[in-house]
Structure 1
Amino acid sequence: MSSEQPNNPLHGITLETIVTRLVEHYGWDGLARRVSINCFMNEPSVKSSLKFLRKTPWAREQVEDLYISTPALRKK
């Protein structure tokens, strides 16, 4: 299965893992400064963020781009 998308840096990584690692690295405040969406600013939680990001492609893309552009996160 891993040979299906060898050039995709997000292959095999769930959205929950991405959000969790970003929060661990930046904190909710830091994440909200980098990706300006309400689910990171007002009463943030992984569950509410996942619900929003799964329904909102532009926001999910911004979060995924931040994850990809943060090399320390992809080494875990």
Structure 2
Amino acid sequence: MKVRVLIMPKRGLLDPEGRAVKEMLTDNGFTVKDVKVGKVVELEVEEGTDIKKLVEGFLINPLVEEYIIE
């Protein structure tokens, strides 16, 4: 089974990489309200794998990140 996990900084927390991308785009003439930079992790796992447990235990920092499993 293939799984994609989108990992993003939690709303309201500083995202220095997102801020740098926004500044670069603005400096180059683009109008951008906000930018968030996250990660995409693609996994191929066996049926029945507890994806939530895997993600929360090993892939994210629950204090500063949130995720979506696709």
TM range (shorter): under 0.3
Q: Which structure carries more strand by proportion?
A: 2
Q: Which has the larger radius of gyration?
A: 2
Higher relative contact order, structure no. (Cα contacts within 8 Å, ≥ 6 residues apart)? 2
Q: TM-score, normalised by structure 1?
A: 0.24
Q: TM-score, length-normalised on structure 2?
A: 0.25
Larger helix proportion, structure 1 or 2? 1
